[in-house]
Amino acid sequence: MEISKLISKLVKYGIITGLVEKEDIIYTTNRLLMLFKVDEAYEGEVGEVKVEDLETILKGMLDYAYENKLMEDNSIVSRDLFDTKVMGCLVNLPSTIINKFNTLYKENPEKATNFFYKLSCDSDYIRRYRIKKDQKWVTSTEYGDLDITINLSKPEKDPKAIAAAKLMKQSGYPKCLLCKENEGYAGRINHPARENHRIIPITINDSNWGFQYSPYVYYNEHCIVFNGEHVPMKIDKGTFKKLFDFVKQFPHYFVGSNADLPIVGGSILTHDHFQGGRYEFAMAKAKVEKEYTVKGFEDVKVGRVKWPMSVLRLSSPDSEKIIELADVILNKWRNYTDEDAFIYAFTDNEPHNTITPIARKRGENFELDLVLRNNITTEEHPLGVYHPHKELHHIKKENIGLIEVMGLAVLPARLNTEMADLEKAYLEGKDIRKDEVLSKHADWLDTFKDKIDKDPSKIHEIVQEEIGKVFSKVLEDAGVYKRDEKGLAAFDRFVNSI
């Protein structure tokens, strides 16, 4: 299909999604003609255009760009940089989008976020056609229904792009992927393009923050709330204030923060940020299994949550009371040592204790879940005592961040191929232990192969269920107090010490 026709189809896509107003058709068309170095617009009819046609339209445009030397190469990195430039031609200026968001917010916060989320999808900042590739299922456990995802929406960089990125001069602009300077940024080999990215400025705890969506949406309306300044993660009383400030402005969203120490923190510790969204995780659904009373805070409900990790839930109609108590608990935990439970606040003056907090509104009450974390390492567990243990690394080796803590496993893309190959090899009677890639799964497979033998037609469902069980064990490994009698007694000791 000729490029001028593809341009007309993309502009029509802009019209049906609301990205482009009728008054802006000629202007948008001319911007795209300039980008593709074409002199004349398409004069004929382009026919019906649907939202789901975007991937095909962009593919045609990218093929043309490569064939006409508008891109350096045809790698996924170069294609992503260029198609973001294309979509940037359809997206309004930040001020226009901010004004519309604020106008809708005055009517209803949900209307504002609905508009902004749709925009983030329609602009291809959230690549819907890639998100659909993610494998998702639910596994029932004693702790509730855990969400399992094999992430396939992040494109694998090809070796040439990786090599080129290493040779590139390191740039300090933007300082990281969360900085406000990403808005409209053209990108480079080692930094994604963001011409189609928009940020809504918000004020929380009297400081300037930004509100945007994650391009990978691991769950419904997965948003990121980030500090307007490039400052490191820090969990303190101010964190709790900011979380509740956000929940008060967007009561239909939860919001939480990764911990502020390595191993138990998220992938970006250098820029203070939260993650939230419109989704109820298994942890939020989990019930309080034991209630406590904390002196001086008798009007705040305090409970231990039935969850594989160690979680205290604070609940009250008064968010300020929750914040005060959370600060007391945090300060106590930062300095708390219980050698019998292998909890050490410090070793050689290095701090180990921190908290992963999650805030939400439930009916008339505010809630704050405080997940106790510790990042101590030993010779036996060099990646962390409270981290997935070695026997689980064949499935999950990465850090347990906020999303996993709440009950959603984000598993590496390699598992998609490995599990398919494992299922095929087993059904064909091959020796798994002799396979260089699959041998790491052999011991695990032995624990449930009897189930497969009873009904080989259900091997895929059985493997998925067993992966879910592994994730449940991963969360138990990450819990500082084990779920046995001794561990729960140690949990009680901490709470009673507050």
Mean pLDDT along residues 402-416: 96
Per-residue pLDDT, 171: 72
Per-residue pLDDT, 155: 62
Per-residue pLDDT, 172: 85
pLDDT at 360 > cutoff 90: yes
Q: Is 169 exposed, middle or buried (0-12, 13-18, 19+ CB in 10 A)?
A: exposed
Mean pLDDT along residues 452-476: 97
Residue 1 CA, chain-centre distance (Å), reads 37
At 218, list the tokens.
Answer: 């691991």
Per-residue pLDDT, 166: 53
Mean pLDDT along residues 387-397: 95
Ranking 119-128, 161-170, 220-229, 249-258 by mean pLDDT, the lowest is: 161-170
Per-residue pLDDT, 18: 98
List residues bridging with 227 in a β-sheet.
209
Look-up: residue for tokens 């497979």? Answer: 445
List residues bridging with 410 in a β-sheet.
149
Answer yes or no: are the C-beta atoms of 304 and 495 closer than 8 Å: yes
Taking only the tens place, the pLDDT of each residue in 155-173 is 655 555 545 555 556 678 9
Cα 13 from Cα 5, distance rounded (Å)? 12
Per-residue pLDDT, 226: 98
Cα 323 from Cα 236, distance rounded (Å)? 10
Which residues neighbour 45 within 8 Å (Cβ) at sequence distance 6 or greater? none
Q: Which of 402, 391, 390, 389 is nearest to 476 (CA)?
A: 389
At 347, list the tokens.
Answer: 């070793």
pLDDT at 439 > cutoff 60: yes
Mean pLDDT along residues 462-482: 97
In three-state form (DSSP H/G/I as H, E/B as E, the rest C), the secondary structure along the chain is: CCHHHHHHHHHHHHHHHCCCCHHHHHHHHHHHHHHCCCCCCCCCCCCCCCHHHHHHHHHHHHHHHHHCCCCCCCCHHHHHHHHHHHHHCCCCCHHHHHHHHHHHHHHCHHHHHHHHHHHHHHCCCCCHHHHCCCEEEEEEECCEEEEEEECCCCCCCCHHHHHHHHHCCCCCCCCCCCCHHHCCCCCECCECCCCCCCCEEEEECCEEEEEEECCCCCCCCCEEEEECCCCCCCCCHHHHHHHHHHHHHCCCCEEECCECCCCCECCCCCCCEEEEECCCCHHHHCCEEEEECCCCCCCCEEEEECCCCCEEEEEECCHHHHHHHHHHHHHHHHCCCEHHHCECCEECCEECEEEEEEEEEECCEEEEEEEEEECCCCCCCCCCCCCCCHHHCCCCCCCCCHHHHCCEEEECCHHHHHHHHHHHHHHCCCCHHHCCCHHHHHHHHHCCHHHHHHCHHHHHHHHHHHHHHHHHHHHHHHCCCCCCHHHHHHHHHHHHCC
Per-residue pLDDT, 266: 79
pLDDT at 45 > cutoff 60: yes
Residue 261 φ/ψ, nearest 5 degrees: -120, 150
Q: Which of 260, 265, 266 is nearest to 177 (CA)?
A: 266
Rounded to 5°, the CA angle 348-330-327 comes to 140
Mean pLDDT along residues 231-240: 96
Mean pLDDT along residues 484-493: 98
pLDDT at 7 > cutoff 80: yes
At 170, list the tokens.
Answer: 């390191």
Q: What is the mean pLDDT of the chain?
A: 95
Mean pLDDT along residues 88-116: 98
Q: Which of 416, 326, 403, 407 is nearest to 372 (CA)?
A: 326
Rounded to 5°, the CA angle 188-192-195 comes to 95
Per-residue pLDDT, 164: 55
Residue 335 φ/ψ, nearest 5 degrees: -115, 15
Answer yes or no: are the C-beta atoms of 478 and 386 closer than 8 Å: yes
Look-up: residue for tokens 């990450």? Answer: 478
pLDDT band at residue 267 under the 50/70/90 scheme: confident
